[in-house]
Structure 1
Amino acid sequence: MKPGIYSEIRAFLALSEFGTQAEAARQLGVSSATFGRSLLKLEKDLNQRLFHRGKSGLSLSLEGQELLARLRPLATEMAELESWLRQGTRKPQVKLSAGTWTSLFLANGFKTLCRSDDPFDLVFVPTEARLGIEHRQVDIGIRGARPEEGNLAAKRLGQIGFAPYAAKNVTDADSMGWLCLHPDYASTRSSRHVMANHSEAIAAYVTAPRLMLDFALQGVGKAVLPCFIGDAQEQLQRTGDEIEELREHQWLVMHGDGRFETHVRQVADRVADFYAARQGVLLGA
């Protein structure tokens, strides 16, 4: 193996997991430029064109797809090696991934989920991408659907509701345009709902879910938000009923073997208890 190719393969696998170059670079803690150079270097080292480059970003070529298939078994071993190396210098880590809204919700229970005397560090990984729990990139994931992968274990946490919200200081919320996540940026079910029903009345597109909340607070437009987010904002008001077609279950997902690890089980149980005590908040009741 050529010197340095480890980091290039790591970048290649990260792109396949996180979907976009920007997100993969962020997860690896490197700049987009450095990340891009790693991918170019890998193509040069292997003398193969691994990607198609277009306006919407990178997509795997046939050669890239073949390389990914060959590297998948290696990905698990690399993740376990990195985890082992990390644990040799600091406390064990339990990585928990969730989307923007769920991360904000869990932040309210941080002292419940993470305690000062814990023999491990709890690491929050907020992302809209579905991280590879099967490859142990994270230990626990909160998802909006039950996983289909056979090597994952899941527990249903409860239902969440969605409703439209606007700033309280607007005079005519009904005539306001809508805020929507741009389709090029990990579109959510709520954004797809807005596109399907209000495509002619979009006030602004944003590139991250959190921006919809910020824009709504500034009176730019209406936003479809989880009830546990919108109802918690004193400066927002509901502009309609709960959108029943968006109601969804949230699932706590773990690796089939990793769920038996003591620290992972402790965090998973705390998350489940936190949700159980807040079912009404989740549904906006």
Structure 2
Amino acid sequence: MKRNMGWEDLRLFLAVAKAGGLSGAAEKTGVSAATLGRRVSSLEKSLNVRLVEREARGYQLTAEGRDLLLHLEDMDQAARSIATWRESGRVRRRIRISAGGWTSRLLIDNIAGFWSPGSDWVPEFLTDLRNRDVARRQIDIGVRNGRPKQAWLAGQKVGHVEHAAYRARVVPSGGEPGWIGLVEEEAHFPTGLWLKENHGEEVDITVNNATLALSLVRKGYARMLLPTFVGDAYPDLLRITDPVESLTTERWLVMHQDERHEPAVRHAVSALAKMLKQNPLLSPGP
């Protein structure tokens, strides 16, 4: 017997056995009678037993065929139960979405714009300093700042991201606040390098994650470079520069070529793209 016997041959034999012949099974399964005959013969060779007697009026099961049919009916019932369970909506694909800190927050704040509990997929948001690998299937969708270069990746452009400097509209007495600088890994990001080059001597407070700085800026203790979809969302913040042209990047949704047409991934990409193309802002909250 072959070690890896396929369920498809067994399923087609079950259809032939129940129909009593090839024509009835062909009508039921949509598989041609000739193909069904070949699959039954292949299964017999795999099992090394004769399963049917081929007669002019149809197929008659041998004793071995009847024994196999009993087992297959149990398997068929289990398969039907699994299908019913899946169709009930309890099984939905979890789509892993990777993005930077600000963009992840943007997605979460605007989740109603691209997902609902009735969707055929559920989101898993991943944010850290690593560029998680779509090619290795570590994630399903990556929000990235450029077109994917690898042939096995697909991408859809959904807009661009601008950065500008902000401060609080009301600042504590004592003069213009200093700047917030970035340290550790984010110091080497384009935003960190721009801050160091243009305002390095004016930095008072440093953080290793730009998202930590927002409350300090809003309280008037510092100025900070922020994505405009963040800074423009807060009425208590004032944009004090034009967008920095050298820091403007494209925004792309990136996915694996082999996965892009999978229904849940396709639905997620379509919904995310529609929302992001509207240039949403963060939800400012309290």
Q: TM-score scaled to structure 1, two decimals? A: 0.62
Mapped contact 1:173–1:222 kept (Cα < 8 A): no
Alpha-carbon distance in 1 for matches of 2:188, 2:174 = 24
One-letter identity of the residue aligned with 1:121: V
Confirm or deny that 1:256 pairs with 2:257.
yes
3-state DSSP of counterpart to 2:167: strand
**Quick one: percent identity of the two aligned structures?**
29
Contact 2:133/2:139 (<8 A) preserved: yes
Contact 1:173 / 1:239 at 8 angstroms: preserved in 2?
no
Q: What pairs with 1:103-122 in structure 2 (closer than 5 Å)?
A: 103-122=104-123
Contact kept? 1:174, 1:239, Cα under 8 Å: no
CA drift of 1:149 comes to 2.5
**Deviation, structure 1 residue 275:** 1.7
> How much has 1:147 moved relative to structure 2?
2.3
Tell me the equivalent position of 2:68: none
Distance (Å, rounded) in 2 between the aligned partners of 1:186 and 1:263: 37
Matched, 1:160 2:161: yes
Supply the distance in 1 between the matched residues of 2:197 and 2:160 (Cα, whole angstroms). 23
- For residues 186 and 122 of structure 1, the distance between their equivalents in structure 2, rounded to whole angstroms, comes to 30
Question: Which AA in structure 1 matches 2:232?
Answer: D
**Corresponding residue of 1:211:** 212
- Once the two structures are superposed, residues 189-224 of structure 1 have per-residue CA deviations (whole angstroms, 9 ceiling, x without a partner) of 212110121111111110112112122122221110
How far 1:185 sits from its partner (Å)? 4.2
Q: Deviations over 1:46-76 (max 9, x none)?
A: xxxxxxxxxxxxxxxxxxxxxxxxxxxxxxx
Q: TM-score, normalized by length of structure 2? A: 0.62
Per-residue deviation, 1:139: 0.2
Shift of 1:173: 10
Aligned-residue CA RMSD (Å): 2.4
Could you tell me which amino acid in structure 1 is paired with residue 207 of structure 2?
V
Look up the equivalent residue of 1:162 and give its one-letter code: H
How many Å separate the matches in 2 of 1:91 and 1:173? 56
247 and 176 in structure 1: CA distance in 2 versus 1, 3 angstrom threshold: same
Partner of 1:223: 224
Cα distance between partner residues in 2 of 1:94 and 1:110: 14
Aligned partner letter, 2:161: I
- Do the aligned partners of residues 164 and 145 (structure 1) sit closer, same or farther apart at CA in structure 2, a change above 3 Å counting? same
Q: Indicate conservation of the 8 Å contact 1:166/1:216, yes or no.
A: yes
* 1:1-285 mapped onto 2 (5 Å cutoff): 91-170=92-171, 175-185=176-186, 187-278=188-279
Q: Which sections of structure 2, spanning at least 5 residues, go unmatched? A: 1-85
Q: Give the Cα separation in 2 of the matches to 1:151 and 1:113.
A: 26
* Equivalent residues of 1:152, 1:253 under 8 A apart: yes
Q: Work out which of the two has the higher radius of gyration on C-alpha atoms and give 1 or 2.
A: 2
CA displacement at 1:187 relative to structure 2: 3.9
Amino acid at match of 2:115: C
Looking at structure 2, the residues matched to 196 and 172 of structure 1 have their Cα atoms a distance apart, in angstroms, of 27
For the residues of structure 1 that align with 2:192 and 2:124, how far apart are their CA atoms? 28
What amino acid is aligned across from residue 256 of structure 2 in structure 1?
A: H
Partner secondary structure for residue 204 of structure 1: strand
| Residue 220 to residue 259, structure 1, CA distance change in 2 (3 Å) | same
Partners of 2:241 and 2:119 in 1: CA distance: 43
Q: Secondary structure at the match of 2:222?
A: coil
Gap change, CA 1:186 and 1:117, over 3 Å in 2: farther
